[in-house]
């Protein structure tokens, strides 16, 4: 029978698992290793205004995902105000409203921003260029003079904008530049000159992030587009091209940052603070948004997340069992009993778990040997063993507590039904094969359980199995490949030792 479909299945599982894992790391910044730190900025905007005793509506522009930054969480504080978040072509905005307000008012908005160097800006549509740009005399002549000079000294939209800024700055200012600057604001003047030259541009507002700064204001920047839709950020004061790493674009659609209806003397100021957070915490809210490609345990309640954090380790234990049984040839009492014992070791600690396991099994075998003389039916005998195991665990827990050994209380995490069947199997094996075989299988089970515990309790393995569900498909592919192995086991090779001696 052809094995091609089998290897195709293994390849699909492996490839799918790798793609899902890499996608979550690249797209959602989930770290490969536990304990990684991420830089997070907390920015608070405080809106102040004086209400006139009438209905009030306040619109504040909000930042969104952009180059170098991802929005993590948002919070507001606005006593008595209704709040809505609006998202349209003009960008994201918070809108507060109240039927009546009088006197000084304060509204607060805070946002946590993850520093993500691989984050990209969303697609940006260039603004439309006004067709009827008119100037009063003599400003029209001055504008034409500046545009003509910059056109001669540039090659494209971006170099044109840089030259225009230089002509309005420093020693290169001429009479035309000074005339226009006396009449118009620098940033709005640059946008108007660029539009007259047929170049799409707009004024955007950004916040320079500096740790521990308070009562900061937004600064104006110039966003210039070329004919192909590409854009750059320019400093309207110096002409420097490029976006600084610590520049957060707060309003990037050319709309007002703050609009207040029903109030006067409005202003907005910003405070900011930088700190580091564990990477898993910093990106957790991104993992809450489940999509087909972002299938995440993080969307579940915390109680279920804690449960799955343990369940997702079982395939690791299963892989250890398959490796030791298929490739090494270690015998165990029960196929996956060592995995369940390893899970109990995770709850109890390794030393406490080993001592508890040996005590329960040893006492259980003694009692089971007595039950064998009663000639009971299988179901009744196993039920009696289960009750015996429960009694043994209860007794040991009480004795440990009375002796001040609180670690002994964790013995209750052992799977009682599995322990009961283990005692039953070992007792039958003792009667049929003798104590040597019991020691071989019991020792193999304990060795497998310890190795599975060491693998499952590894911090890196616990991290990747919980945060990258694609790992489960990769484990499945490996186990299927191991299941196809039909060669010698390592422990079987000792049969050929006399050949090597000869």
448: domain range?
Answer: 302-494
The answer to whether residue 251 sits within a structural domain is no
In a domain, 160, yes or no: yes
Beta-sheet pairing, 258-261 with 68-77: unpaired
- Please calculate the CA angle 56-42-47 and round it to the nearest 5 degrees: 20
Nearest to 175 by CA among 295, 183, 384, 358: 183
CATH number for the domain that contains residue 84: 2.60.40
463 lies in some domain? yes
pLDDT of residue 57: 94
Query: Is residue 133 a part of any domain in this protein?
Result: no
Do 182 and 242 lie in one domain? The reply is: yes
Total count of residues recorded for the chain? 502
Co-location of 47 and 84 in the same domain: yes
Residue 346 has phi, psi (to 5 degrees) of -60, -35
**pLDDT value at position 97?**
94
Q: Supply 248's token pair.
A: 């957060």
Q: For 402-460, what is the HEC assignment?
A: HCCCHHHHHHHHCCHHHHHHHHHHHHHHHHHHCHHHHHHHHHHHHHHHHHHHHHHCCHH
241 with 263, same domain: the answer is no
Is 265 in the same domain as 306? no
- The pLDDT score that the predictor gives to residue 355 is 81
Q: How far apart are CA 454 and CA 448, in angstroms?
A: 10
Please, is 246 exposed, middle or buried when counting C-beta atoms within 10 Å of its C-beta (0-12, 13-18, 19+)? middle
Please measure the distance between the N-terminal and C-terminal CA atoms of the chain and give it in whole angstroms.
40
CB 272 within 8 A of CB 210: yes
Nearest CA to 197 out of 148, 232, 235, 241 is that of 148
Q: Identify whether residues 188 and 67 lie together within a single domain.
A: no
3-state SS track over 196-219: HCCCCEEEEEEEECCCCCCCECCE
Supply 2's token pair: 């052809």
What does residue 261 show for φ and ψ, rounded to 5 degrees? Answer: -110, 130
Alpha-carbon distance 46 to 267, whole Å?
Answer: 8
Tokens 């599995």 sit at which residue?
418
For residues 366 and 427, the answer to whether their CB atoms sit within 8 Å is: no
Tokens representing residue 315 in the block: 């395939």
DSSP string spanning 96-119?
A: EEEEEEEEEEEEEEEEEEEEETT-
Block residue for tokens 């490609």:
293
Looking at the fold, whether 311 and 440 belong to one and the same domain comes out as yes
Residue 188 resides in a domain: yes
Residues 190, 230, single domain; the answer is: yes
Same domain, 272 and 199: no
Which pTM was predicted?
0.63
pLDDT at res. 412: 56
Half-sphere exposure of 207 (CA within 13 A, CB side): 28
341 shares its domain with 440: yes
Per-residue pLDDT, 290: 45
Residue 18 in any domain: the answer is: no
Q: Is 33 a member of any domain?
A: no
d(CA 220, CA 451): 61
452 and 325 fall within a common domain: yes
- Residue listed under structure tokens 């700064």: 213
Which pLDDT tens digits describe the chain residue by residue (502 residues)? 568 888 899 999 999 999 988 888 877 777 788 777 788 899 999 999 999 889 999 999 999 888 888 888 888 888 889 999 988 777 889 999 999 989 999 999 999 888 887 777 777 888 888 887 888 888 888 888 888 888 888 888 899 999 898 888 877 788 888 888 888 888 888 988 898 888 999 999 999 998 888 889 999 999 999 888 888 999 988 888 888 888 999 988 888 899 999 999 999 999 999 888 776 666 665 555 544 444 566 666 656 677 788 888 889 999 999 999 888 888 887 777 888 888 888 877 788 778 878 888 888 888 888 777 777 777 887 788 888 888 877 887 777 777 766 555 555 556 677 777 778 788 888 877 878 888 888 888 889 989 999 999 888 898 888 888 889 999 999 999 988 888 788 877 777 777 766 6
pLDDT value at residue 316: 92
Q: Could you tell me if 213 and 265 lie in one domain?
A: no
- Report how many domains make up the chain: 3
Mark whether 263 and 358 lie in a shared domain. Answer: no
The pLDDT value recorded for residue 310 is 81
Domain assignment present for 203: yes
């Amino acid at each position: 029978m052809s094995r091609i479909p089998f290897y195709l299945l293994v390849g699909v599982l492996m490839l799918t698992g790798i793609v899902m894992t890499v996608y979550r790391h690249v797209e959602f910044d989930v770290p490969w290793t536990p304990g990684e730190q991420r830089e997070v900025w907390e920015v608070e905007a405080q809106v102040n205004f004086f209400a006139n005793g009438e209905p009030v509506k306040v619109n504040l522009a909000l930042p969104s995902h952009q180059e170098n930054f991802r929005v993590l969480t948002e919070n507001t504080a606005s006593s008595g105000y209704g709040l809505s978040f609006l998202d349209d072509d003009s960008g994201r905005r918070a809108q507060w409203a109240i039927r009546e307000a009088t006197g000084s008012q304060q509204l607060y908005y805070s946002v946590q921003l993850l520093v993500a160097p691989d984050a990209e800006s969303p697609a940006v549509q260039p603004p439309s260029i006004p067709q009827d740009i008119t100037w009063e005399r003599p400003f029209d002549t001055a504008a034409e003079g500046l545009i003509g000079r910059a056109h001669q000294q540039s090659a494209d939209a971006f170099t044109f904008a840089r030259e225009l800024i230089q002509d309005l700055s420093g020693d290169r200012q001429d009479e035309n530049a000074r005339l226009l600057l006396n009449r118009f604001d620098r940033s709005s003047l640059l946008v108007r000159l660029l539009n007259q030259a047929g170049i799409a541009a707009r004024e955007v507002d950004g916040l320079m992030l500096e740790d521990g700064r308070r009562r900061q204001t937004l600064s104006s920047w110039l966003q210039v587009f070329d004919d192909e839709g590409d854009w750059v950020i320019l400093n309207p004061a110096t002409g420097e091209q490029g976006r600084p790493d610590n520049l957060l674009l707060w309003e990037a659609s050319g709309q007002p940052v703050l609009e207040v209806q029903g109030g006067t003397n409005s202003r907005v100021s910003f405070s900011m603070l930088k700190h580091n957070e564990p990477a898993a915490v910093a990106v957790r809210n991104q993992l809450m948004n489940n999509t087909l490609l972002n299938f995440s345990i993080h969307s579940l309640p915390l109680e279920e997340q804690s449960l799955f954090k343990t369940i997702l380790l079982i395939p690791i234990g299963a892989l250890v069992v398959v490796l030791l049984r298929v490739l090494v040839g270690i015998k165990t009492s029960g196929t996956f009993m060592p995995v369940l014992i390893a899970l109990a070791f995770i709850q109890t600690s390794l030393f406490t778990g080993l001592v508890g396991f040996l005590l329960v099994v040893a006492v259980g075998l003694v009692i089971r040997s007595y039950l064998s003389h009663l000639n009971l039916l299988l179901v009744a005998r196993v039920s009696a063993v289960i009750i015996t195991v429960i009694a043994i665990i209860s007794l040991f827990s009480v004795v440990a507590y009375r002796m001040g050994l609180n670690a002994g209380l964790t013995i209750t995490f052992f799977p009682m039904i599995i322990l009961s069947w283990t005692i039953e199997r070992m007792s039958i094996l003792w009667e049929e094969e003798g104590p040597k075989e019991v020691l071989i299988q019991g020792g193999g089970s304990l060795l497998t359980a310890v190795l599975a515990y060491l693998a499952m309790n590894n911090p890196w393995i616990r991290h990747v199995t919980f945060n990258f569900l694609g790992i489960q498909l990769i484990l499945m592919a490996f186990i299927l490949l191991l299941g196809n192995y039909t060669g010698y086991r390592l422990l079987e090779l000792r049969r050929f030792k006399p050949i090597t001696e000869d």
